[in-house]
Chains A and B, each alone.
Chain A
Amino acid sequence: MANTFKNLALKIKAINLRYSQPHIEMSKGVKISLVALRIYLLFLVSLMVYKFILLLQ
C-alpha cells in the first residue's frame, strides 16, 4: 500500500516536471485570458464558501 502511494507521488512529480512550462505561446491575449480566468474562479470559489457558511449558520 505504502509502495503504491510512493509510486503515485513519484508519477505526479514526473508529470509536474514534464508540464512545468506551458508550451503555448504566451502572448498578451493569452496572459490576459488566464488572469481573467483566475479572477473569475476566485470569485466563484468565494461565492461557494459564502454559501457554505450560510448553510452552516
Chain B
Amino acid sequence: MNFFSKLYYRLRKSWKAVQLYLVIAGPGLVVMIADNDAGGITTYAATGAKYGYNLIWFLLILIPVAYYVQEMTVRLGAVTKRGHAEAIFDGFGAFWGWFSLIDLMIVDWLTLVTEFIGMTAALQIFGVPPWLTVVGVIALMAMIVIHGRYWTWEKIAMLFCALNLIYIPGAFMVHPSVSQIIGDGLIPNFPGGFNGQLFFFLMANIGTTIAPWMLFFQQSSVVDKGLQEKDIPWGKFDTLLGSTLTIVVAIFIVIVTGTVLKGVEIDSASQAAEHLMQSNHYVGTFMAIGLFDAGLLGAICISLASSWAFGEIFGWAHSLNQKIKEAPWFYASYFFTLITAGLIVLIPNAPLVLITLFVQVIAVTLLPAALVFLILLLNDKKHMGIYCNTLSQNLIGGFIVVSIVILSTLYGVSVMFPTLFA
C-alpha cells in the first residue's frame, strides 16, 4: 500500500512538473526550431549530399553551443524584463544601441527575403505560383497575430515546429544503413582531409545554427511571455530541448540527402526536393513541405524580432498581447517588413542570389557584437544579481563566443572572397 501511495505521489508530482513546463514552454523551443529556416535546410541538405553522414558528429557538437548561447538570453530577459535591443541601449549607450538596432533591421529584412525565396521555391514544386505563396503567407501570418494574444501566436508557432519533424519519417523511408551512420557519422573525421571546401561547410553549419536574430527574438519573447526569475530553470530546459530537437532535425536531413543524393551538387533545398522526388516521391514531397514550413517558421520569428526591438527602443506598445488598435506601430512594422520582403521575391530578375550571400556577410557584423554584449551584460552584477554568469559559465560561454566570432568572420570573408580558402 505504501509503495502504491508513493508511486501515486511521484506520478502526480511528475505530471504537475510536465503541466508547469507546458505553460512555460515556448520561447526556447520556437526559436531553436525556427533556426532550421530555409537557409538552414539548404545548408544541411548540401552538407549531406556533399559529405554523406561524415559530419553528423560536428552537428552534435552544435547542441551545447546553441544551448549555452541562447540560455543566457533567458536569464537576461527574465531578470531585467528587457529585450536584447533595450538591454544594449541601456548597458552600452546610444552608439552601440543604434548600431545593433539598424544592423538587426537590415539582417532581419534580408533574412526574411531568403525565407520567402525558400517558401516560393518549395511551393513551386507543387505548381503554386510565387505571387499566391507570398499573398497566402502574409494572410496566414496576419491571422496568427491578429487575435492579440501571445499564447495563441506561440501555440500556432509550436504547431509549425511540430511539422518541422517531417524529415524524421522521411529519413526512415530512404532506409539508411544504421551501422554506416554510426561508423561514419559519430566518430569525428574530416572526409577528404581538412581543406578549404570542408572548412566552408563547417562554418556554414555554425553560421546557420547561431544567428543574430535568435538572441533578440528569444529575449524579447521571454519578456513578452512574462517569464519570472523562478521560471529560469524551465526556460533553460525549454532551450535545451529546442537545441536538441533542431540538431536532431538537421541530422535527419543530412541522413536523407546523404543516403539518396551523395555526390550530387546541391545549390538549394528545393533542388534537393526535386532530385529526391525522382527516387522517392514521398520523401521529395516531405522535403518540399519541410522547406516551406521552415521558411514560414523563420518568417514568423524574424519579423517579430525586429518589431519587438523597435517597440522597446521607441517606447511603442510592443506586445502580442495587445490588439492592432492598442499597438499600431508594432504591427505596422511587422507587416511592413513582411510585405516588402515578400514583394522583393516577386520582382522579375531580382538579385536573389546576391541577397542570400549578402545576408551572411551582414550577419557577421552583428553576431560578434551581439554575443560580446550578451556576455558583458550577463556579468553585470548590479542588474543580474545572483543570475550573473559564474566563472565556469564565463569560461564555456567565452570560449564558444570567441570560436563563433572567429569562424563566422572567416565564413563572411570566404563569402566575399570565395577563392581565399580554396
Please list the residues of chain A having a beta carbon within 8 angstroms of any beta carbon in chain B: 11, 15-16, 19-25, 30, 33-34, 37, 40-41, 44-45, 47-48, 51
Contacts and interface: CB of A to CB of B under 8 A. Distances in A.
Nearest to B314: A11
B364 A44 contact: yes
A30 to B, nearest CB: 6
Nearest to A23: B90
Interface residues on B, range: 20 to 34
A45 B93 CA distance: 21
Interface in B362-383: 364-365, 368-369, 372, 376-377, 380-382
B interface secondary structure, majority: helix
Contacts of A34: 92, 96
Contacts, number: 53
Interface of B: 89-94, 96-97, 313-315, 361, 364-365, 368-369, 372, 376-377, 380-382, 405, 409, 412-413, 416-417
A47 B416 contact: yes
A15 B92 contact: no
B343 to A, nearest CB: 22
B380 A24 contact: yes
A34 B376 CA distance: 10
Given A19-B89, A37-B368, A47-B416, 6 more contacts: A19-B94, A24-B92, A30-B376, A33-B376, A37-B369, A48-B416
A40 to B, nearest CB: 6
Contacts of B417: 51
B409 A44 contact: yes
Contacts of B409: 40, 44
A24 B376 contact: yes
B12 to A, nearest CB: 45
Nearest to B376: A30
Given A19-B94, A22-B93, A48-B416, A33 B372 contact: yes
A41 B416 CA distance: 15
Contacts of B93: 19-22
A15 B94 contact: yes
Contacts of B369: 37, 41
- Which has the most chain B C-beta neighbours within 10 Å: A22, A41, A48, A51? A22
